[in-house]
Amino acid sequence: MILLGLNNFINKTKLTKVLKKISLDESIIIFSETTSQINSNKLFSNIDQIVYGIDINKWIKILKPNILLTIGINILSKNIKYLLRKFPPKYHWHLGNNCKNYPDTYFKLSSYWNINPEYFFKIIEKNKNFPNSNYKRTWEVLIEDKIKKQNFFIKKEKNFSDLKALFFIFSKIPKKSILQLGNSMIIRYYQLFISKRKYKIQSYCNRGISGIDGSVSTAIGYSIVSKKIVTLIIGDISFFYDSNALWNNYTPKNFRIILINNKCGNIFKIILNKKFSKKTFNFFETKHNLCAYELCKMYKWNYNKVSDLNRLRYILSFFWKKSNYPFLLEIDTKNCNNENIFRNFLYSSK
Ligand SMILES: Cc1ncc(C[n+]2csc(CCOP(=O)(O)OP(=O)(O)O)c2C)c(N)n1
C-alpha cells in the first residue's frame, strides 16, 4: 500500500506519471490524499469513506498491506490512521528527500529511504518482480461497492445539508479554474467527492499546521496574481475569523467565495470521540448568528444566499460568469442535520 500525505512535491507531473505505471500492478493499491497534490483516476483520495466500517477480520486477513510505503507527511483520514496503528503492517517504509523529521505516524516505522520518490519508483518499475496477487482487485471491488452506495445515498437523501450542497458544488467547479479550500470539514468533503471527477482541478488548502487562520487572505492573494477564476470554499468560523482580508482594493472581479454557513464549527460534532458537557462543548463549537450580507454590502461585493438545492443550482448557473465585482455565495445550512447526514452517508456505504 502506497499512502501519499501532505507534500509540496517539486516534480508532481513526473511522480504522478510513474505512480500511474506502478498502480497498474495487481499487488499495489495507492491512496493519495488531495493535500499531496498528486491526482489521477488510478489513485484514490476518498480514503475515509473506503475504510470506514471496514470488517476488521477482513483488514487483518486480506486488506492490511505487507508493506506500507508512505510519502509526504500529515494524513487527514482518521480512519486509515486508526487501522494502521491498531493493526500495523509488517513493514513501514517512508520515502523522501531530507524528510528525517517524519513523525512516524503509525509508530512502527521500519525503514527510512532518503531518496527522491520518483527515482525509487523508477527503479522498482524497471526491476519489476512483483508477486502474483489479487490485492488491488480486492480493494477495487470494495471501492466500487462503496461508490455505488454513496451515489444511491446522495440521490435518496432529500434533505439539504453541507454534504448535499458540497457534492453538487464540487461537480460544478469550472474547468481550469483554481480552488482554494478552507480547513476543517471542507477539505474532508473535498477528499470524499473529488475522486470521481473526470478532470482534476488545481486545489490548495492552508493545511500546514491545520490552522483555520489566513485562508481568506491566502485565497485573495492567490487570485490577485492569477488570471484564472479562483473560488474559495470555506466554513463560517474560518471565514469570519479572517474576514478582514476582504478589506483591500485589489480583489479581482473574478474572485468567488462559497461560504458554507452552518453557524458553528461543525467539525467538532463529527470528529470528536470524547463526550463533553454542553458548557464545555460550546467552546469547541463556537455557535454564532453571523451572516456575510453586511460585509459584502460594505465592501461592494455581489452577494446571494441559498438554503436549498434548487436555488443553489440556479445561482451556480451564473455564479462564475463575468461580473463587475467579486461574488460571495452564502449557503445557509444552520437548520440542517449536517453531522447526522454526514454520519449516515459514511454508514450507508459501509
Ligand atoms: C488558528 C486556529 N484556531 C482554532 C483552530 C481550531 N479549529 C479547528 S476547526 C475549527 C472550526 C472551523 O469551523 P468552520 O470553519 O465553520 O468549518 P466547519 O467545521 O463548520 O466545516 C476550529 C476553531 C484552528 N484549527 N486554528
Closest atom, ligand 1, to C-alpha of 267:
19
Residue whose cell numbers read 503492517: 89
Listed residues 145, 178, 194: the one ending a domain = 145
pLDDT tens by residue, 178-217: 999 999 899 999 988 876 555 678 889 887 777 899 999 9
Closest residue by Cα to atom 26, ligand 1, is 211
Task: Tell me the mean pLDDT per 10 residues along the chain, length 350.
Answer: 87 90 93 88 88 92 96 90 95 85 87 90 83 92 91 93 96 93 92 70 81 93 96 97 95 97 91 79 90 97 98 98 97 95 88
Whole-number Å distance, alpha carbon 284 to ligand 1 midpoint, is 9
- Check whether residue 185 and residue 304 sit in a common domain: yes
Whole-number Å distance, alpha carbon 245 to ligand 1 midpoint, is 17
- Check whether residue 44 and residue 71 sit in a common domain: yes
Count of structural domains within the chain: 2
pLDDT tens by residue, 30-48: 999 988 888 888 889 889 8
- Check whether residue 193 and residue 103 sit in a common domain: no
Instruction: For residue 169, count CB atoms less than 10 angstroms from its CB and return exposed for 0-12, middle for 13-18, buried for 19 or more.
Output: buried
- Check whether residue 106 and residue 197 sit in a common domain: no
Do residues 319 and 329 make contact, with C-beta atoms less than 8 angstroms apart? yes
Do residues 181 and 204 make contact, with C-beta atoms less than 8 angstroms apart? yes
Q: What is the CATH number of the domain that holds 172?
A: 3.40.50.970
DSSP for 146-166 reads HHHHHHHHHHH--S--HHHHH
Nearest-angstrom CA–CA distance, 249 and 269: 37
Can you give the pLDDT at residue 118?
92
Q: Which pTM was predicted? A: 0.92
Nearest-angstrom CA–CA distance, 298 and 295: 5
Listed residues 99, 117, 145: the one ending a domain = 145
Phi first, then psi: what are they for 282, rounded to 5°?
-55, -35
Whole-number Å distance, alpha carbon 267 to ligand 1 midpoint, is 7
Closest atom, ligand 1, to C-alpha of 261:
16
Nearest-angstrom CA–CA distance, 19 and 89: 21
- Check whether residue 265 and residue 164 sit in a common domain: yes
Whole-number Å distance, alpha carbon 316 to ligand 1 midpoint, is 26
Which residues contact ligand 1 via a Cβ below 6 A?
182, 184-186, 210-213, 235-238, 262, 265-267
Closest residue by Cα to atom 13, ligand 1, is 265
Nearest-angstrom CA–CA distance, 231 and 12: 22
Closest atom, ligand 1, to C-alpha of 236:
16
- Check whether residue 83 and residue 9 sit in a common domain: yes
Listed residues 111, 145, 179: the one ending a domain = 145
Assess if residue 152 is contained within a domain: no
Query: Residue 210 is part of which domain span?
Result: 158-347
Assess if residue 282 is contained within a domain: yes
- Check whether residue 180 and residue 213 sit in a common domain: yes
Can you give the pLDDT at residue 7?
84
Nearest-angstrom CA–CA distance, 68 and 8: 21
Closest atom, ligand 1, to C-alpha of 262:
20
Assess if residue 151 is contained within a domain: no
Can you give the pLDDT at residue 196?
55
Phi first, then psi: what are they for 66, rounded to 5°?
-75, -40
pLDDT tens by residue, 216-244: 999 999 999 999 999 999 999 999 999 99
Do residues 191 and 165 make contact, with C-beta atoms less than 8 angstroms apart? no
Can you give the pLDDT at residue 279?
85
- Check whether residue 250 and residue 211 sit in a common domain: yes
- Check whether residue 229 and residue 268 sit in a common domain: yes
- Check whether residue 210 and residue 337 sit in a common domain: yes
